[in-house]
Amino acid sequence: MYLYLWRPCEQSTLDQRWHGKLCRAIGHTGTSTEGPGNGDRRQVVDWDGNGKMDLVVVGEWMAPTFFKNTGGKLEKTEMPNLANLKGWYRTIEIGDFNGDGLPDMALGNHGLNTRFKASASSPVSLFLNDFDQNGSIEHIFTQNVDGVQIPYTLKHELERQVPGIKKKYIRYSDYNNKGLNDIFPKEITDQSIIQEVNSFESGVLMNLGGGNFEWKPFPRFAQRSWTFAIQVLDINEDGIPDLILGGNLAQVKPEIGKFDASYGDVLIGKGDGTFTFSPNYQNGLKLEGDVREFALLGEKQILVVKNSAAAEIWKY
């Protein structure tokens, strides 16, 4: 499973000590908007309604992050009410989903049909460190269970990164439910670079004006897989924006399980920022494989782009 952590090297003494090697390992590119996490997708939009185009960034290991156009530069705007929306976002699209003239944002996240379970009280974390002090960097995913960081990483998988685990824990039962500080010395784990996610739902940020937003998750059936692409359109021609979602991720490790439950989701807008889920057997949509992009072609046609597969054109 590929999950990237981007972090500028100058941000911590650990980064400075591993300067160069660590940067390459975690995909550092050094642009000014990467501080919040891996800023995978961006939208230029006047989200504060002052007539100047601003910036919204989403990505992995981060909450939606807003930058305000002050005339000569972009300044990050703190939004504490979005702190519980740190996710693994892969797409953002703009639409006015309640007809108030303000730009709202549809976000594609990891979904809820997953081995990973994240919440504000029990986030999923990534610890990045040279745990066995051999000069190579390991990464370990954990779940916070009653304040203890329990690795998601299976024993045999961790042994490939840290061979000493095989001798320390002979049986799987000895390893099960061990905390990270049981497996490695606390003075080592305390040096880790740590990233967290606490929300995996895809949904809509409704623009309330004045720089305020309200989160409205998509219906449960639209959370079946990782959403990589969203298209805003009016399918039923009632003047209210609807959505088509696409995604999936097949190339993951067997113990994680493929994210392949989506055949494309159709969400019919209600005009208040919420949506009605339209089942595939009713709407006829069947998008197989890993969908990555949509594009409207005109004449009620939509282009669907996939990983390692031919593009498709659907009419609606």
Strand order in the sheet with 265-269: 227-233, 242-247, 265-269, 275-278
C-alpha distance from residue 125 to each of 86, 120, 149, 277, 284 (Å): 11, 12, 8, 31, 39
More confident residue, 71 or 9: 71
pLDDT digits (tens, 9 = 90+) for 191-208: 999 999 999 999 999 999
User: What value does the mean pLDDT take over residues 79-90?
Assistant: 96
pLDDT grade, residue 28 (50/70/90)?
very low
Residue that has been written with the tokens 């309640």 in this structure: 98
What is the model's pLDDT at position 256? 86
Instruction: Give this prediction's pTM.
Output: 0.86
Instruction: Read off the pLDDT band of 38 (50, 70, 90).
Output: low
Q: According to the model, what pLDDT value does residue 130 have? A: 95
Cα gap 41→64, rounded to integer Å: 10
- Residues 237-255 as b/e (b if ≥16 CB within 10 A, e otherwise) read eeebbbbbbbbbbeeeeee
What mean pLDDT, rounded, does the chain reach?
88
Buried b (16+ CB within 10 A) or exposed e, 108-132: bbbbbbbebebeeeebbbbbbbbbe
pLDDT above 90 for 25? no
Check residue 40 and give its pLDDT. Answer: 77
**Rounded alpha-carbon distances, angstroms, from residue 61 to 85, 135, 200:** 10, 25, 11
DSSP character at residue 249: B
Write down the pLDDT at residue 39.
60
Note the helical H segments in the chain.
Answer: 13-17, 21-25, 155-161, 164-168, 172-175, 180-183, 186-189, 280-283
Residue 255 has pLDDT above 90, yes or no: no
The b-or-e profile of 136-152 (16+ CB within 10 A means b, else e) is: ebbbbbbbbeeeebbbb
Average pLDDT rounded to a whole number, residues 234-260: 94
Using pLDDT thresholds of 50, 70 and 90, give the confidence band for residue 253. confident
pLDDT value of position 37: 52
